Amino acid sequence: MKKIGIWITVSLLVLASLLPNQYIAKAETTDHKISNSVISADGTSVTHTIEMALHKEKREKKLDLVIIQDLSGSFRGSYPQVNTRVQEALDLLNPYLDRTQFVGYTGIKASDANIPLATDPRAQLEKYNEGQISEGYNIILSNELTDDVSKTKQIMNDVTTKNLFGNSTPTAYGIKKAMELYQAAAGPKTANRETLFLVVTDGFPNGDINGTPLTPSTSMVQLMGPTTGIVAALNQVNDAGYQTSFGLWQDAAGIISEWGEATYRNYNNYINANIPNVVTRPEFFFNMLTSSSSIDDYAKYVRDIVQTNLNEQWSIEENIDSDYTYVPDSATIKDATTGNTINVPAPYTKPTITDNKLEWQLDALAEGDYILTYKVTAPITVNQKPTITAQNKTLFVGDTFQPLTGVTANDPEAGDITSGITVKENTVNTALPGVYKVVYEVTDSIANIPILSGTVISDGKIMFQNKLDKTLSKLEYTQTLTPNTVTKEIEVTVLSKPVIQASDSTLFVGETFDALKDVTASDAKDGDISSSITVKTSDVDTSKPGEYHVTYEVTNSANQTTTKTVTVTVLSKPIITAQDSTLYVGDTFDPLKDVTARDAKDGNITSSITIKENTVNTNVPGEYLVTYEVTNSIGETTTKTVKVTVLSKPVIVAQDTTLFVGETFDPLKDVSASDAKDGNITSSITIKENTVNTNVPGKYKVIYEVINSVNEKTSKEVTVTVLSKPVIVAQDSSLYVGETFDPLKDVVASDAKDGDITASITIKENTVNTKVPGKYKVTYEVTNSVGETTIKTVNVTVLSKPVITAQDSIIYVGDTFDVTKNMSASDLKDGDITSHVIIKENTVNTKVPGEYKVTYEVTNSVGETTTKTVTVTVLSKPVITAQDTVLYVGETFDPLKDMTANDAKDGDITSHVTIKENTVDTNKPGEYKVTYEVTNSVGETTTKTVKVTVLSKPVITAENTTLYVGDIFDALKGVSADDLKDGNITASVIIKENTVDTSKPGEYKVVYEVTNSVGETTTKTVKVTVLSKPVIVAHDTTLYVGDSFDPLKGVTAEDAKDGDITAKLVILENTVDTSKPGIYKVVYQVTNSVGETTIKEVRVTVLPVLTPEPTPANPVTPAEPITPVKPIVPNAPSQPENGISVHADSNAIKKDPAITKESLPKTGDSTSVAPLFGAILLLAGLGILYRRKEN
């Protein structure tokens, strides 16, 4: 409904100025009727009930709603509540116009082909990955397109009752199949029918548009695959001319548990960024986690998109006069014909009130006639009650009391009326301590208080249709007043001696006793006087049990003294008596035998002992523990642990022995026996077997046996070895005439007892003569430590061959080589036979450097032949040996290290090498050269140049990082690596260590490593700091009236990055008033250096000063009361007091037509508006004329 115009409003304001004490609405009026009015009990406000007739027309547009439902197993928990709210949207449809279809989708493994969903007759199965390990079925569960909404609801409910759920979420496949099924049933698209595809799913999709499973992982590339399929499927539906919507009811906890929070967040952001761009309208996309996650919000989303397609966004908008306030929860909708109240479904159950405007979304109402009813209220002027100000008082015995001192009265209309106060009751007796009362009374006056009257006018409009009659509705009222009388009662406390608070106490032997701990004293006049308490007597001795006494004394400022005596009981803890014990394997063990417990208070409490632990196993030797526990009657507990030792059989100690032939053998020597119970039982050893024979070498055995006092038997067998004489090891040998002969070379002697006795060998005979060929003998002798002697003789043969003397030689290219020079031959028999030497081979070529050989041969007179070959080396220039080198920046380079020079003639001439050139700079990478030179003794010179490469190690570029709790951290983001040889090797960087946890603040580290192609490795560690928001430390506080309050005292602020930032604290709000009791608040705020802000609110409680309860005393007769002033009553018609008289003026009220279906206004009907419209124009003209005259 359009507004009439600003000039009409101006006219109404002019009319208001001519009607004093009238309340006139400042907006266009419509078909309203005030049916009644009531006055609130305290006479401070007037309340009106407004009624308005509504009519909603029939809808002609048609809608097909296709619900595409995720039936994966993860949706099983959420499905019932989501299904209920989706069905609420189905109730909006018209069975004569609209149709529905349900299409559920999921996938299963081939092994699950017998689950309820797969065997349901309405299910369609389509196999994927046939013949593979991953073989399975995609399943579509659907009903026919129908105008019977109950059939669609039935299959939706069957999903829950029959457990029709699968495993996977092939969402794109489900959308594609839903469109195919719908198109097959719906036929060609018509102009007057819209089709809405409503997708309902709960999380990560994992199938492409053809139903092939795609297993997502934490890689966003893999996550986007199934989502891209959804986008493609939705686009196919859009291209077919249908509406699309997508509701994501996410199981966030399950997704995060399986895939991690970072993956979930990335995927959620990806969905939010892409799906809203594909559905028909952005508001047709719903994501539970980016909404308020309420099922009501989801229901509103479904209802809104259905109603958008029905063009049924129908609402009421009612302007309420600014002088009035809407009464909460007073609005109702009733059927105009039946009178029944209509329950508007959530979330539009109640109207909203904004800027005194009532708005109510009523899309869900069917066509028909309705009555809207609501209430408004406005304050009215009343005779307000006066206030008496009087405080409770505290006196001491003997003080004087004036009851009217400090007592005042104030009236909102008349101001100070203290002179009118009377004392109605006064029981105070200052001679006796106690709590007394004084009652004051005062009456105000109603003189000069106006009697109010007014008129309520209401207007409103309906959005969506414009068929309301514009008739004025109003209610007039007047008011009467009566004087107010108020009373006030106070307490007067008369106080006496101070009070000591101290209680009897119990402690245990050895505990520390503080006589003044928890002892306080208070005085009615002085307040807390605990610091004045003295201990008059105390006999407490905490070293021994007993009952003791402590007497306290305190005196107040008026010299009133109080004493109090308390009892202190010193107790001892209970004692468990139990000893360590020893038993043997197989013995019976009773853990409670000989165990007792006593307590200083309870006496014998052995029966209360419990065994907390018992590890004893009498079948296995060892040390075990038994732990006992006992508790006395006051809850003191003692534990004690004892050791139980389980012993085994006796033990024989005897070792294997070695002796020599002829020695004496004592089988009991060095043999002993011990027993865990009997101790040393060596004397009980017996020899069961002894085969030793010391006259014959060999290995023998001795078997010992011993029995302890409990007949436990042990036996042991040892080996005795009898050894024979020493052994000489010496071999026959051959040598040649002239050779040196050492008769002891390679001769050794050993003995079974003495070991190596080679040093004891002596030569008994030696006939060897190395000058004369022949056979000779050598005889050896050795004796061991027990006098055993061994003799051995060996043969030595001396031979003679001719000998050729010739040496290897070195010459240089061009030298003359004499093959017989420095060569000779001799024979033991023939003497010098050099002339008999023949050259068997000579390959020497003095023109070409190289190694050659010369072979000589000679034969003596007895036909013995000897050959000898020597090497002749023909050398050229000297040789420098130096290699190319690789080193790294910063390393030390010695150009002479590992460089040598040799000469065929001079030998090692390294010391003669000189460096002709050296360009090496180890401070920077590059290729350099070093040139060496050497000259031998005959002037031959050689040079050699080598390459020196200086490399730099690979470099990792990574910086320290600061982030905040909840941020995503990519450890490789911004990290790179370079190498002088390999170039960019960022791809080779690996993370050796990563401790970062962005869910909690702290300092973490990430260690990177990279290796280049030559095996050089570099590591780098960076610091990652995870910060939290600053923290304000402030606590709730309790004060007493009159205390000082510093809001910043004890309040601090800390920040993970900035440290102490207390100086940055600001107080946003401080309501504390320590002059009167109450609960107040202080709100603090602090911001760190990076703009993170924290706000904290604390509560400050101000308490009244409390005093102990005194004894009552005899009342005092009150003074003569003051006669109150007679109130002035204005001339007024007879009517109820303290209320509003409501009457209907037939001349002032234009009555509304009855609200029936037949009398509802028709479009364009303005009969009732014309007279009012003419009156308003007249008033507007008068106002303008009046203004012109003024100007």
pLDDT tens sequence across 741-771: 999 999 999 887 788 999 999 999 999 998 8
Determine the pLDDT at residue 310. 63
CATH number for 575-647 (one of 3.30.390.10, 1.10.3470.10, 2.60.40.10, 3.10.450.50): it is 2.60.40.10
Task: Check whether 880 has a pLDDT greater than 50.
Answer: yes
Task: Check whether 844 has a pLDDT greater than 80.
Answer: yes
- Please give the Cα distance from 9 to 26 (Å, whole number): 7
Q: Are strands 505-508 and 926-935 parallel, antiparallel or unpaired?
A: unpaired
Contact 973, 1037 (CB under 8 A): no
- Reading the block at residue 484, the tokens are 């107010």
Determine the pLDDT at residue 967. 85
Determine the pLDDT at residue 212. 82
Task: Check whether 782 has a pLDDT greater than 70.
Answer: yes
- Reading the block at residue 43, the tokens are 């006479």
Determine the pLDDT at residue 1097. 96
Determine the pLDDT at residue 223. 58
Determine the pLDDT at residue 337. 85
Determine the pLDDT at residue 48. 67
Report which secondary-structure segment, H or E, holds 257.
Answer: helix 252-259
Architecture of domain 6-57+317-380+455-479+1161-1176: Sandwich (2.60)
924 or 461: which leads in pLDDT: 924
**pLDDT category, 23, cuts 50, 70, 90?**
very low
Contact 577, 596 (CB under 8 A): yes
At a CB cut-off of 8 Å and minimum separation 6, what does 909 contact? 878, 901, 902, 903, 934, 936
**pLDDT category, 1121, cuts 50, 70, 90?**
very low
Cα 120 to its chain centre, rounded Å, is 44
Determine the pLDDT at residue 1166. 34
Q: Which residue has the tokens 């043997």?
A: 584
Domains of the chain by residue range: 6-57+317-380+455-479+1161-1176, 62-310, 387-445+482-494, 497-571, 575-647, 651-723, 736-799, 803-875, 879-951, 955-1027, 1031-1103
- Please give the Cα distance from 994 to 1006 (Å, whole number): 4
Q: How many C-beta neighbours within 10 Å does residue 802 have?
A: 23
The mean pLDDT value for 974-994 works out to 91
Contact 442, 1121 (CB under 8 A): no
521 or 662: which leads in pLDDT: 521
**pLDDT category, 849, cuts 50, 70, 90?**
confident
Task: Check whether 1148 has a pLDDT greater than 60.
Answer: no
Fold adopted by 651-723:
Immunoglobulin-like (2.60.40)
pLDDT tens track for 1063-1089: 999 999 999 999 999 999 999 999 998
- Reading the block at residue 1077, the tokens are 């009791």
Contact 141, 175 (CB under 8 A): no
The mean pLDDT value for 167-186 works out to 94
At a CB cut-off of 8 Å and minimum separation 6, what does 1046 contact? none
Architecture of domain 62-310: 3-Layer(aba) Sandwich (3.40)
1164 or 547: which leads in pLDDT: 547
Determine the pLDDT at residue 449. 53
Domain 497-571: homologous superfamily in CATH: Immunoglobulins (2.60.40.10)
Cα dihedral 233/239/243/249 (nearest 10): 20
The vertex-1090 CA angle with 1089 and 1096, nearest 5°, equals 75
Domain 1031-1103: homologous superfamily in CATH: Immunoglobulins (2.60.40.10)
Determine the pLDDT at residue 148. 93
**pLDDT category, 994, cuts 50, 70, 90?**
very high
Weakest mean pLDDT among 287-291, 805-809, 1164-1168: 1164-1168
Weakest mean pLDDT among 301-305, 370-374, 402-406, 673-677: 301-305
At a CB cut-off of 8 Å and minimum separation 6, what does 707 contact? 650, 684, 713, 714
Determine the pLDDT at residue 573. 82
Cα 983 to its chain centre, rounded Å, is 41
pLDDT tens track for 940-957: 889 999 999 888 889 899
Task: Check whether 524 has a pLDDT greater than 90.
Answer: no
The mean pLDDT value for 1144-1166 works out to 33
Task: Check whether 550 has a pLDDT greater than 70.
Answer: yes
Which CATH number describes the domain made up of 879-951?
2.60.40.10
Determine the pLDDT at residue 389. 95
At a CB cut-off of 8 Å and minimum separation 6, what does 670 contact? 654, 655
Q: How many C-beta neighbours within 10 Å does residue 346 have?
A: 17
Report the percentage of the chain scoring pLDDT > 90: 42
Tell me which residue of 706, 764, 770 sits closest to 736, measured CA to CA. Answer: 770
Determine the pLDDT at residue 961. 92
Contact 901, 880 (CB under 8 A): yes
pLDDT tens track for 104-117: 999 999 999 999 99
The mean pLDDT value for 287-309 works out to 70
Q: Average pLDDT over the chain, rounded to whole?
A: 80
What does 1085-1147 look like in DSSP terms, one character per residue? Answer: EEE-TTS-EEEEEEEEEEEPPP-PPPPP----PPPPPPPPPPPP-----S--TTSEEEE--TT
**pLDDT category, 1140, cuts 50, 70, 90?**
very low
If DSSP states are collapsed to H, E and C, what string results for 1057-1081? CCEECHHHCEEEEECCCCCCCEEEE
In words, the CATH class of domain 803-875 is: mainly beta
Determine the pLDDT at residue 1046. 94
- Reading the block at residue 11, the tokens are 């006219």
Contact 685, 713 (CB under 8 A): no
The mean pLDDT value for 704-727 works out to 88
Domain 955-1027: homologous superfamily in CATH: Immunoglobulins (2.60.40.10)
pTM of the model: 0.33
Q: Which residue has the tokens 């190694």?
A: 851
Q: Which residue has the tokens 């001439």?
A: 909
In words, the CATH class of domain 387-445+482-494 is: mainly beta
Contact 585, 598 (CB under 8 A): no
Among 137-146, 319-328, 362-371, the range of highest mean pLDDT: 137-146
Task: Check whether 22 has a pLDDT greater than 70.
Answer: no
Task: Check whether 221 has a pLDDT greater than 60.
Answer: no
**pLDDT category, 234, cuts 50, 70, 90?**
very high
Determine the pLDDT at residue 313. 54
Q: Are strands 865-875 and 809-812 parallel, antiparallel or unpaired?
A: parallel
Task: Check whether 443 has a pLDDT greater than 60.
Answer: yes
pLDDT tens track for 1007-1045: 999 999 888 899 999 999 888 888 999 999 999 899 999
- Please give the Cα distance from 599 to 762 (Å, whole number): 89
Contact 1062, 1094 (CB under 8 A): no
Tell me which residue of 106, 139, 107 sits closest to 124, measured CA to CA. Answer: 139
Report the percentage of the chain scoring pLDDT > 70: 81
Task: Check whether 473 has a pLDDT greater than 80.
Answer: no
- Please give the Cα distance from 682 to 703 (Å, whole number): 15
Task: Check whether 486 has a pLDDT greater than 80.
Answer: yes
- Please give the Cα distance from 404 to 442 (Å, whole number): 13
Domain 736-799: homologous superfamily in CATH: Immunoglobulins (2.60.40.10)
**pLDDT category, 43, cuts 50, 70, 90?**
low
**Burial of 1055 (C-beta count, 10 Å sphere; 0-12/13-18/19+):** buried
Task: Check whether 496 has a pLDDT greater than 70.
Answer: yes
Within 13 A of 470's CA, how many CA atoms are on the CB side?
A: 19
- Reading the block at residue 772, the tokens are 């004369």
Task: Check whether 2 has a pLDDT greater than 70.
Answer: no
Determine the pLDDT at residue 1183. 44
332 or 361: which leads in pLDDT: 332
Weakest mean pLDDT among 723-727, 816-820, 1165-1169: 1165-1169
Task: Check whether 447 has a pLDDT greater than 90.
Answer: no
**Same fold for the domain at 387-445+482-494 and the one at 879-951?**
yes
